[in-house]
Amino acid sequence: MHRWSDLSDVPADFGPTVVTLGNFDGVHRGHASVLRRMAADARAQGSSAVAVTFTPHPLQVHRPEDAPPLLTGDADRLDLLAETGLDAVLLLPYSLQFARQSPEEFVRRYLVDGLRARTVVVGRDVRFGWQNAGDLTTMVALGERFGFAVEVIDDITPEAGASRRWSSTWVREALAAGDVEQAARVLGRPHRLRGLVVHGDARGRELGFPTANLAQDAAGMVPADGVYAGWLRRTRTADGAPVVAGEPLPAAVSIGTNPTFDGVQRRVEAYVLDRTDLDLYDEEVALDLVARLRPTLRFESVDQLLVQMHDDVARVRDVLATGPSVRTEA
């Protein structure tokens, strides 16, 4: 899949295209279903399938106080979009200057002149251009003017007659409740956190459970405090080299403030089962969260905490006994 960040990256002979636009946060099962079908239809008509998306999320620019926590960082979002069969993604830097384009300017510059769109695929609630002035009616009118068809997609639900559609909001609600299993059902895969491993207080190592501490700017919405079973994958070495097909390592993941030690900073820490030899500092790792075992608790003594940690590890081992989870097709 081609990955572009500017129209200058698009080859002069690329096209014609079928184009869709959106944020695609999480690339959940609804997104994936629409994009796979769009890619297949594009190939059937001799076109290339392209998604136009933005970074950062527009709300982070216009109303940062109202911006939702993002489910995926750009790296994971692009990888997930590639899995749907798209031919290309145009990931545009979003700024106030970019937002000042009128609906017509945006469509003409990016969809018509830049990508040579033959068909534009949008939802009924599409909004685009300065102050979201463009809507579905606008897009249809611009299509008639510039010579592209507009295909409207309806909401995708888990099953016929279901009361709720697949959505990023649904995933965020599940994660806020610590229900990573429900989040995985909507996403079609376990929820992932990705970030650099940084130095912590080294308490885990002192207790016999050395942990990899994710940096505070790790990508992916952090779910509710608690202890989780998950898989750790090394994705980038300390010198920045990518780790191809990193081995999934079973891990007990703690999210919270370490109340037993009167901690105040919320942290994500992962103990790789039975491994005290790993040196992950300054490496990038991904954590795929499979199940929440319990909420975060405050213990009266370190001995009580150690008993619980041994029990947590045993439960993680049981949960992960069947091996790493695979993606669920929509």
Mean pLDDT of 190-203: 89
Token representation of residue 34: 């629409």
Mean pLDDT of 130-150: 96
Is pLDDT above 50 for 246? yes
pLDDT category of residue 158 using cuts at 50, 70 and 90: confident
The closest alpha carbon to 232, from 282, 177, 279, 272, belongs to 272
**Pairwise CA distance, residues 11 & 9, whole Å:** 6
**The pLDDT value given to residue 99:** 96
Of 110-124, 188-202, 252-266, the range with the lowest mean pLDDT is 252-266
**Pairwise CA distance, residues 235 & 157, whole Å:** 33
pLDDT category of residue 161 using cuts at 50, 70 and 90: low
Burial annotation 305-327 (CB, 10 A radius, 16+ → b, else e): beeebeebbebbeebbeeeebee
> pLDDT tens across 1-29, in order?
999 999 999 999 998 999 999 999 999 99
Is pLDDT above 60 for 221? yes
**The pLDDT value given to residue 327:** 56
**The pLDDT value given to residue 330:** 43
**The pLDDT value given to residue 157:** 77
**Pairwise CA distance, residues 126 & 52, whole Å:** 13
Is pLDDT above 60 for 329? no
Please indicate whether residue 155 or residue 29 has the higher confidence score (pLDDT). 29
Q: What is the mean pLDDT of the chain?
A: 92
